Amino acid sequence: MRETLGDSAVAAGHVVAAGYFRSYSVVGLLALVGVLFVAVAFGAGRLLRPVVPTPEKLLTYECGVDPVGEGWAHTQVRYYVYAFLYVIFAVDSIFLFPWATVFAAPGYGAATLVEMFVFLGFLAVGLLYAYKKGVLAWT
């Protein structure tokens, strides 16, 4: 390889590789500093906090009401389904804001309009599927 590329090409490739790995070393150093910062904060909190266990502190706190009965509360699954649907549509609505700014830019109007209608079509199909499966029925 040395004969075909020449010494200058090999040296240039070595410099590029060194710069490439140097950028990763900066990321690794920042990750290490972040982990150390969190570890020091947790360690300082553990050393400085007062530890005085009392029976009141060992009780499970439930909005000011003393815990009575079993620890598990029976919640219907439909509430989670509504929460899940909300999260899906809330995250999808985030994509509408950049679309509105790009749609106003010259030269992107027709393409972004078609792409957004395709996106909204996928959302409508998902909502129709949830409706047909009876997920949106409250009873």
Whole-angstrom CA distances from 138 to 78, 84, 112, 131 are: 8, 15, 36, 11
What is the residue extent of each domain of the chain? 2-52, 77-132
Predicted confidence (pLDDT) per residue in 75-109, tens digit = 677 777 778 778 877 877 787 777 777 776 777 76
For residue 65, the cross-strand partners are 62
CB 123 within 8 A of CB 92: yes
Please spell the DSSP secondary structure of 101-112, one letter per residue.
HHHHSTT-HHHH
pTM assigned to the model: 0.39
Taken in order 62, 67, 71, 72, the sign of the CA dihedral is negative
Q: What is the mean pLDDT of each run of 10 residues along the chain (139 residues)?
A: 51 62 85 97 94 79 65 70 79 78 72 83 85 77
- Give me the pLDDT at residue 96, please: 79
- Give me the pLDDT at residue 5, please: 52
Predicted confidence (pLDDT) per residue in 73-84, tens digit = 666 777 777 787
Rounded to 10°, the helix 77-94/96-104 angle is 20
- Give me the pLDDT at residue 56, please: 76
- Give me the pLDDT at residue 72, please: 67
CB 10 within 8 A of CB 1: yes
- Give me the pLDDT at residue 48, please: 93
